[in-house]
Structure 1
């Protein structure tokens, strides 16, 4: 009889251990439990120690930390028909565990698929130059669209970063040629502007010199000084027009 009582107590103890093991859950600070009672949502519990009724209640753990989602490389055709390969990274976190579990089957996979389609849609509406030069604005546009659409899932998109925009080798060569042609065009424009300014200054100088004969003589002497410093064997002396007038006057006499 005593032996049977001991066996009964042992069974009770074992049952209690199994019951407590199935009923007690410990959640960390960044975790929450979405609790279902007989299949119906009955609340959010955690963090810390929580107790569930075995076989009656079930829970789904939800991580509230920021999740880093690497968006796979997408083939995008820009608005100016340039094919590029783009990948990005999305930072998001769960702010409503109930919606994240009940409103969507797998919020991680759903967010990943939505990020891929949004990335192609947004970038496809811009030209290649905008993709390369206005990356911050594109990041903001993608983040706003994703955040708006994932709000129904209890997801908050905190940031989106486009990591790489890769071009085909042929397109890289074409862009390099375009950049070189643009540099040559700018150089020609600058040279043309310089020639215009130089001609205007020369015309102004000529007008100033023509107003005073003494100025012409000083310019003549300066030119002679510059010629004398030259090391060439042949020196050409400018012949002032005043001398020719003087000779003509003597011949007439």
Structure 2
């Protein structure tokens, strides 16, 4: 009976200890992954960021806020923007950032994710409102760089590092699309006319050079005439050309050019 009583007495205090440990230990021991940090507050006072690995906390006294250090992606919803040259466009963007100072991200701003997203929206509208449409379409890399620098400077106090900002899509009104298509078509027609005129000018230059060469060597004209006949005969035509020397008609031409004689 004595052994049984001793055993029951031991179980009487072991069971409460086990129950208490099962309740207290989960709040005392935390395991943080490699990309996580825990910002510790003791009685409301900031102790600092700890981790990764095993973290011990004092129950009731300590409180931990977990912060993810991986790159976070935020989709900036579509924004109606009026460009500097008064063209309404709809744009959206994506922002990449990460936490570099867990203490500042927890202490200096409430909900740093939401704060960064709202800051990205206002910055997008402000920067694109100062750019012209042609610059927005042709120099998007420059605009992305400007957005990244401004956002990074504004969120630096929160312990946030903005690594990249990309303007994904620019939607133009239908009327502007038709006007740009007409402008592009007109530009293509202008270039075609210029190229055609340059081709005719170059061809005329070559013809002038050829005429100068033939005037120095008249026999070249006869050779060119024979070459043309050879090309025509290779096409199996039924038409036959008989070349006649132009000198045969020179006497008749001179006679026609002489004034008529008057009879006595």
TM-score (norm 2): 0.80
Structure 1 match to 2:147: 142
Corresponding position of 2:128:
123
* 48-57 or 178-187, larger mean C-alpha shift: 48-57
Bigger-Rg structure (1/2): 2
SS at match of 1:104: coil
Secondary structure (helix, strand or coil) at the match of 1:53 reads coil
1:69 CA displacement: 0.9
Partner of 1:40: 45
The answer to whether the 8 A contact 2:41-2:64 is kept is yes
1:21 aligns with 2:26: yes
| 2:114 aligned residue (109, 112, 127) | 109
Unaligned runs of 5+ in 1: none
Query: What's the offset of the Cα at 1:126?
Result: 2.7
The 1:181/1:248 distance shift into structure 2, 3 A limit, reads closer
Structure 1 partner of 2:96: 91
- The residue that corresponds to 2:157 in the other structure is 152
User: 1:205 is matched with which residue: 198, 205, 210?
Assistant: 210
Instruction: Give the SS at the match of 1:19.
Output: helix
| CA drift at 1:238 | 9.2
Classify the secondary structure of the residue corresponding to 2:34. Answer: coil
Q: Return the alpha-carbon distance in structure 1 between the equivalents of residues 140 and 134 of structure 2.
A: 10
Matches within 5 A, 1:36-75: 36-75=41-80
Q: State the Cα RMSD in Å.
A: 3.2
- Which runs of no fewer than 5 residues in structure 2 stay unpaired? 259-264
Aligned to 1:178: 183
Tell me, in whole angstroms, the C-alpha distance in 1 between the residues paired with 2:106 and 2:68.
11
Give the match's secondary structure for 2:131.
coil
- Mapped to 2, the partners of 1:223 and 1:35 lie a distance apart of 97
State how far apart, in whole Å, the 1-side matches of 2:226 and 2:251 are: 19
| SS of residue in 2 equivalent to 1:105 | coil
Offset from partner CA, 1:151-199 (integer Å, 9 cap, x none): 2111111222222222222222222222111111111110010011111
Q: Counterpart of 1:86 in 2: which secondary structure?
A: strand
Q: In 1, Cα distance between the equivalents of 2:242 and 2:183?
A: 48
CA contact (8 A) 1:227 1:235 kept: no
1:247 alignment counterpart? 252
